[in-house]
Structure 1
């Protein structure tokens, strides 16, 4: 059986990389292990062109980068993702922004599963916390894939805006 251990940090020699090394060494007793660092790949953020819906591959990635990553996932039986959190205000000195900010979050997804929206909201609100932004409201929208899907949820969105 094969294990894939992914360093989801752009830092190849930091704490995340050290954990990847330890996990990889430990798993090598039971599995054939491959470790990769996300920073070894160059790719752009998804632009929502939906070409992948028709051809099952990303047309945006250079030289098949996304396909290479997906192949790594496909060849593995066990996948371990090791990820740091984003910018953090728990170290001194740290950059700050003006206090008193209020944060709102809207998460949407194409499927009907609200818990996934809740996870997205939780991640954004956690990041707000590190920026010392007070999270005061959120909205999760499911079954939104195309612009035309927004119309049926328009009033819900407008009502949410009244709280902002």
Structure 2
């Protein structure tokens, strides 16, 4: 059995370093996507016991929209004014089902459209991480699966909004 040369061991060390670095980068991108999504998704997914109702968007300015809130769930109270982030998913004059963030007058969209919209940052992270997985880790099948999942999530969200 031939002895391992120093160039072979150096190549193995560099390969391991590349895999470790790219795996870490891909993992951090995915964790950041989940973290960014969870801030809104938790209110939609864990809606039991939270105030739920509808909001009519009356005014929008400075990236925020506001309007009256009508409760639907037991224990929820009507509010003259609640606010929601202005985005492509919120238009003036429309009524949306919403969940109130605990301890505030801020709301997030609920229902299927709100749930999918809250996970859009994860979809973007999946697309970005797929490039790292394909190029840095050379796992093309996994990268295609990640990219396909991200594109599917973005497409379904776009169609529902």
> TM-score, normalized by length of structure 2?
0.22
Relative contact order higher in (CA < 8 Å, ≥ 6 apart): 2
> TM-score, normalized by length of structure 1?
0.22
Question: Which has the higher Rg, Structure 1 or Structure 2?
Answer: 2
